[in-house]
Structure 1
Amino acid sequence: MPNNQLPAIKGDVLTPDSAGYKQAIARWAANAERDASIVAFVKDSEDIVKCLKFAKEHGMPIAVRCGGHSAGGASSVDGGLVIDLSRYLNTASVDPVKKLAYIGGGALWETVDKAAIKHGLATVGGTVNHTGVGGLILGGGYGWLSGQYGLSIDNLVQVTIVTADGSVLIANETENSALFFAVRGGGGNFGIVTEFVSKLHPQRPTVYAGHVIFLPSKIEQVVVATNKWLENIKENEGMFQVSTVGGPEGKPLFVLVIFYNGSEAEGRENFKWVFDIGPIADATKEIPYEHLNALQNAMAGHGKGIYQKGAIIARPSPDLVAKAHAKFAELVQIHHLGGGVIYEYISLKKVNSVPADATAFPRGLEANLMINISWDNSIQNLTHDARKYAGELTDILRGDEVDSLVPGYSNYDDSATAAIGEEKAKAAFRTNYPKLQGIKKKYDPENVFNKWFPITPA
């Protein structure tokens, strides 16, 4: 589609014959790349309004890109228009007196973390810091600080949002409150957020964190000890446990990523039970706070094929975790895969203290489980196969308990297309789905925004 068909905007417009087009459609997950007809790097709300009007007039599907981290392709579109916030709406500023962060809709979490900690402040952000703020917040937003401060949406004070009809609205608890309810967990279904305003909290400059590596023979012992620890988990600590492979020989490993919001001395004492089990490596230390959300960056690099599946696990079973680990190692070896099976343990008391009907995001949850399968997408797109393998792994972890694994954290799911049908959205939003349908009818009756758990207007 010719460049000049989109009315002039302040930002940049790229088409398939433009220099930089391939980079513009590239995504964190290589298999999420789609051949857009137009990529518009917008500078402000006015640019977005023009793009939405153009897409509507020409019957073009749209996608919105912030950080481009959706493995399911929510930020990409074939033959349509990508409204990309990442180039110009990517900053974060801090009001240290009000303890508020003003965050561009296309910013990355690294930008937020660094801006806030300069003032001794922090908010709940993504555990991979090159993740986009927009997608993570709109989908709920777990982070290392969730034990202390809840989800990212629980710290959200206000958004500026462009809705499907081109209105530019402020939404908060008192102004457009139904819309504010919807964007706190309802994803991009209701418009394009150009600015998030989030609460900040006092944060010490350093924390104790890092990787502890065990051989697979220790898995059952680790999980037994973990279940005991979870009975009294504190709000200022957390742990991810990862079945993965490492080193040039692809050796199966069980990796713990631990976090304690305090000094190294306090952290080592707190996690003494971990070291008593006998890891083969300990890379934990006191680190600058702004490095915390980069600990998993190496495991989440750009450019691979990625398939993600989320679930919720009420209580990890030592033997089933060990079996799933062995199965994952087998899949990796046979099919030349990467990634990991990730169990996320953070105190959820604060998260679940929020009433289920207070935000679009459901509550009453248990620990997150994410299966992340990666491969070299330049050789072959293995999305279909990876979906099958992820199903095999969740079947193992389910054991004999049919309902032991329920649909997981929506930001970890692959269901990011209108083709998935309504059932996935109903499962994601649970009892809040009918209310969201009513809000959708008001703000997006034609279902323009339909790339992530699309909600059918009432």
Structure 2
Amino acid sequence: MNYGHRLKFGLRLPTHDGCEPGRPVQWAGMAEQQGLDLLVIPADTTEGSELEPWTVSSWIAATTSSLGLSVEARPTRHPAMLARAVASLDHLTEGRVDLTLPAGPASAGSGPMSPGREARWPADDTGAALSEAIHVVRELWNVLDRGLGRFAGRFYRLAGAQKSAPAHDVPIVVDGQDRNVLRLVGKQADEWSTGGWDIAALAAGNRVIDESAREAGRDPREIRRRVTIRGDFGDRTGIFTGTAADWVTDLLPLVVDHGVGTVVLDTDDRGVAITFATEVAPALRAATEAALPREWSTARVRRSAALARRRPGIDYDGVPAEMAEVVEPGDLAYARLRSGYLRGGAPGIILRAETNEQVAQAVAFARRHPGVPLSRRSAGHGISGRSTNDGGIVIDVSLMNTIEVLDEKTRRVRIGPGARWAEVAAALEPHGWALSSGDYGGVGVGGLATAGGIGYLARGHGLTIDRLRAVEIVLADGSTVKAGDSENSDLFWAVRGAGANFGIVTAFEFEADEVGAVAFAQLTQDASDLERYLVEWGRVVEDSPRDLTSFVIVPPPRAGRPVLALSRTMVDAADRETVLARLEPLAAISPLYAQDVVISSYAAVMNNASDDAPVSHGEPVSRSGLLRHITPQFAAAAASVLRSGAIGWFQLRSVGGAVADIPTDATAYAHRDANFSLVVMGGIDEVVDKAWDRLRPFLDGLYISFESSLRPGRLAEAWPPRTLSRLRELKTVYDPEGVFGDNFALTPATNTPGGRDR
């Protein structure tokens, strides 16, 4: 039978006593140049020389870019060290490695064997020792289950080791024909490698592997089959001799009738290797396509271990085939995609899209799952937006991250929702442009540009949404529309401040601002008289020209330590006199513990994001509010909350200025008269709410990006009555069934069937 694996062709690196250091690299370069898929690096590659095999493997990896590397491991190498070495090499090669574990000599009559296969695993029970080694390796690669790696066996033990996942799901190849080894392959391995090409032995081995796989609850198609062959071109004297066509005749039954998916050539003749790569491989591919049913190799077979992690209520078999990537709970990529930057999650499936059509397909899939949570994600940094969930569907548009200049003259740019603001700033800097965009470069465009966008240039240039000129958006019914001032203007109004309710924006068109060099000041000041500091900071900000925007963080006071205020201030100017004039009033509020003032670019300030995958747990607890002025009464309440220990984060951001120039009813972001935005964070909802109640009397409205609460009254705080009424009317038009209910979900104005609120 055939197991449906796309054919791969490889070359076994020759072994030579006293191997010249450059020889392995030369063979690797030749294999890659001739289009081979794989280079097998034997454990005894450099036998008789002073070169260490894994170092040679790394050297070969550095000199190739597309060639797969199948690295054989010595049984003497501890599997824990092996797991870390393979994971490291896989990252360095961007996912080009598989691991081969030689089990020992084959049984008699199995056909010719490649050299260097006499090594055995510990003791005389090869199957048991090798099985434990595979368990150890998989445990240390298993980052889907959090915590340290642990294993207790007869040959190997892990008392608590740090896990380290490779870049991709590294296949584990087991080489051998002993019956115990074959049964182990069926239970644990991803690929069986045999040095023999005897058809009877191959068929017998397949039967044992398939039976063992089914007993273990696995699909035999999970296991790829590999043969290593030798031969020569010229006179036809036996199998794998003669012409390339003769070789194809010899190989075709192994592929079609016995499921071989990988053919590796063992030779030290470069001419034979080149003919194999350029004549045999393409001819065998064509012959296989002709001999097998159409689309014989297109179906993906997931591991049984991955299938066991699927969540109930999701039609995994009905996932759209058009998606750029589908990530399930059993996939290695799930570990870095399951959570957001501040919110832990365990979704049932993640649909990654990179086109409008794929987004529409993902929305249609979600609509077929009523009652299953749906989350949307650009970069996953949102506090209010549920960019992940438990057991539900996530539509991830982070791959839609292009940044394109449409018109130099009008500074029109088109940006994908998955782009991050640090990338946007870097792309705009060469033009002398910028877009005000929060304070952290890792935030995705999609979330911030539909909520508001309170950034370091807000007082001089407005909110991020104030520079938005048009969007493309996939609606709940799967249609894609463009919205701007001249078309679908009602939808464009709603997108700017409540966009999460109306669809998935797949492209933003902004008119960037002309922004040159800026000054950025980080001041650490004494805030022992906390009430006075807050009032004075607020007064200075309101009295300052619009080219100054300041944020301040006040860490909760700790016994025995001074109370600090950490301000981050941008001045949209570069000349020394202007910068000093703007900053001196802030510095004069209280004594300075530290100061750092630089004149740089906006892009340099925003280049503060980490590329590490998020490892968040639990739910953020945050509260957001808007206020017009920092009065002594508000400052007293804020100081009381800070001293109570109820919160762990307190930040004020200045707004006002250009933000207030936009009419209140021009966008769904309606609280234009606020001069400050407040956000606090803590650990327990009830504790934070009790502290927040002391601040609520001074607040008028909230900023939806920073509010994690699901309390019913938050909708009325987010939008004034007139704005809220209009939004609900539009919800009736664009999403009457409440498909998009993961972020400040609105109830349709009419009692539409399927409408819902959060």
TM-score after normalising by structure 2: 0.53
Corresponding residue SS for 1:280: strand
Deviation at 1:363, TM superposition (A): 3.1
Q: Using a 3 Å threshold, how does the CA distance of structure 1 residues 369 and 10 change in structure 2: closer, same or farther? A: closer
Distance, in Å, in 2 between the alignment partners of 1:27 and 1:261 is 32
Distance, in Å, in 2 between the alignment partners of 1:99 and 1:160 is 18
Distance, in Å, in 1 between the alignment partners of 2:402 and 2:728 is 32
User: 1:426: which partner in 2?
Assistant: 716
1:63-116 alpha-carbon deviations (Å, 9 max, x no partner): 110121223452123322111011x10121224333012110111111111111
Which is strand-richer, 1 or 2? 1
Distance, in Å, in 2 between the alignment partners of 1:173 and 1:302 is 41
**Cα RMSD, aligned residues only:** 2.7
User: 2:526: which partner in 1?
Assistant: 215
2:692 paired with 1:394: yes
User: 2:489: which partner in 1?
Assistant: 177
Determine which structure has more spread, i.e. the larger CA radius of gyration.
2
1:407-443 alpha-carbon deviations (Å, 9 max, x no partner): 321211114x6xx44x422331212111111211111
1:345 alignment partner, one of 623, 647, 654 = 654
User: 1:54: which partner in 2?
Assistant: 365
Deviation at 1:317, TM superposition (A): 3.4
Q: Using a 3 Å threshold, how does the CA distance of structure 1 residues 250 and 78 change in structure 2: closer, same or farther? A: farther
Q: Using a 3 Å threshold, how does the CA distance of structure 1 residues 207 and 302 change in structure 2: closer, same or farther? A: farther
Please list, as runs of the form range in 1=range in 2, the aligned pairs for 1:238-387 lying within 5 A after superposition: 238-244=549-555, 252-263=563-574, 265=576, 266-276=578-588, 277-294=590-607, 303=616, 306-318=620-632, 321=635, 324-325=638-639, 327-328=641-642, 331=645, 338=648, 340-346=649-655, 348-373=656-681, 382=683, 385=684, 387=685
1:203 alignment partner, one of 515, 525, 538 = 515
Distance, in Å, in 2 between the alignment partners of 1:228 and 1:445 is 45
Q: Using a 3 Å threshold, how does the CA distance of structure 1 residues 168 and 331 change in structure 2: closer, same or farther? A: same
1:223-270 alpha-carbon deviations (Å, 9 max, x no partner): 3433442443311101112111699x9764211112111126221222
Distance, in Å, in 2 between the alignment partners of 1:312 and 1:183 is 20
Q: For the Cα contact (< 8 Å) 2:502–2:731, is it kept in 1? A: yes
2:318 paired with 1:5: yes
User: 2:701: which partner in 1?
Assistant: 407
Distance, in Å, in 1 between the alignment partners of 2:615 and 2:347 is 20
Distance, in Å, in 1 between the alignment partners of 2:594 and 2:539 is 23
Query: Structure 1 stretches of 5 or more lacking a match?
Result: 375-381
TM-score after normalising by structure 1: 0.85
Corresponding residue SS for 1:273: helix
2:749 paired with 1:455: no
Corresponding residue SS for 2:543: coil
The one-letter amino acid paired with 1:27 is: G
The one-letter amino acid paired with 1:258 is: T
Please list, as runs of the form range in 1=range in 2, the aligned pairs for 1:84-99 lying within 5 A after superposition: 84-86=396-398, 88-95=399-406, 96-99=408-411
Compare relative contact order (CA 8 Å, sep 6+) and give the higher one, 1 or 2.
1
Q: For the Cα contact (< 8 Å) 1:35–1:78, is it kept in 2? A: yes
Q: For the Cα contact (< 8 Å) 1:321–1:397, is it kept in 2? A: no
Deviation at 1:396, TM superposition (A): 4.2
Q: For the Cα contact (< 8 Å) 2:344–2:616, is it kept in 1? A: no
The one-letter amino acid paired with 2:678 is: M
Corresponding residue SS for 2:528: helix
2:389 paired with 1:77: yes
Distance, in Å, in 2 between the alignment partners of 1:245 and 1:130 is 25
Deviation at 1:151, TM superposition (A): 1.4
Corresponding residue SS for 2:518: strand
Distance, in Å, in 1 between the alignment partners of 2:572 and 2:429 is 14
User: 2:102: which partner in 1?
Assistant: none
Query: Structure 2 stretches of 5 or more lacking a match?
Result: 1-313, 750-758
1:108 alignment partner, one of 420, 427, 448 = 420
Distance, in Å, in 2 between the alignment partners of 1:2 and 1:433 is 36
Please list, as runs of the form range in 1=range in 2, the aligned pairs for 1:106-255 lying within 5 A after superposition: 106-204=418-516, 206-244=517-555, 252-255=563-566
Distance, in Å, in 1 between the alignment partners of 2:580 and 2:552 is 17
Q: Using a 3 Å threshold, how does the CA distance of structure 1 residues 424 and 133 change in structure 2: closer, same or farther? A: same
2:337 alignment partner, one of 24, 28, 46 = 24
Q: Using a 3 Å threshold, how does the CA distance of structure 1 residues 392 and 121 change in structure 2: closer, same or farther? A: same
User: 1:377: which partner in 2?
Assistant: none
Distance, in Å, in 2 between the alignment partners of 1:286 and 1:52 is 45
1:261-280 alpha-carbon deviations (Å, 9 max, x no partner): 11262212222122233211
Distance, in Å, in 2 between the alignment partners of 1:310 and 1:7 is 38
Q: Using a 3 Å threshold, how does the CA distance of structure 1 residues 273 and 424 change in structure 2: closer, same or farther? A: closer
Deviation at 1:368, TM superposition (A): 3.1
